[in-house]
């Protein structure tokens, strides 16, 4: 399938034909990662990252101070029928 690069405003771009989008399961608003590979333009859909708990915990600083708003909330008196 041949596609031409076109002028789009002050940029250049290419229109991806609807049948190709349908075949790939892509739609308007899909984010793509673009890179060159062996002289070719490669477009790949960006998929949502799946995080592992241990990866997220490695990013945490256990020595970090508790934010003031959270400290205030934890120290607030009950105002209703909350169970502790």
Picking from 66, 35, 33, the residue whose alpha carbon sits closest to that of residue 48 is 33
**pLDDT computed for residue 1 by the predictor:** 86
8 CB-contact burial (10 Å; exposed 0-12 / middle 13-18 / buried 19+): exposed
Overall pTM surpassing 0.85 (yes/no): no
Measured CA to CA, the distance from residue 2 to residue 50 in angstroms comes to 35
Phi then psi dihedrals of residue 44, to 5 deg: -130, 135
pLDDT per residue over 22-48, tens digit each?
999 999 999 999 999 999 999 999 887
Partners of residue 33 on adjacent β-strands: 44
Is the domain covering 6-45 a CATH 2.10.260.10 domain? yes
Most confident of 48-52, 66-70, 74-78: 66-70
């Amino acid at each position: 399938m041949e596609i031409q690069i076109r002028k789009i405003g002050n940029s250049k771009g290419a229109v991806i034909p609807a049948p190709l989008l349908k075949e790939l399961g892509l739609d308007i608003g899909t984010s793509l990662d673009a890179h060159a590979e062996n002289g070719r333009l490669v477009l790949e859909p960006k998929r949502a990252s799946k995080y592992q708990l241990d990866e997220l915990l490695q990013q945490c600083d256990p020595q970090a101070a508790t934010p003031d708003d959270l400290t205030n909330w934890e120290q607030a008196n009950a105002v209703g029928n909350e169970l502790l």
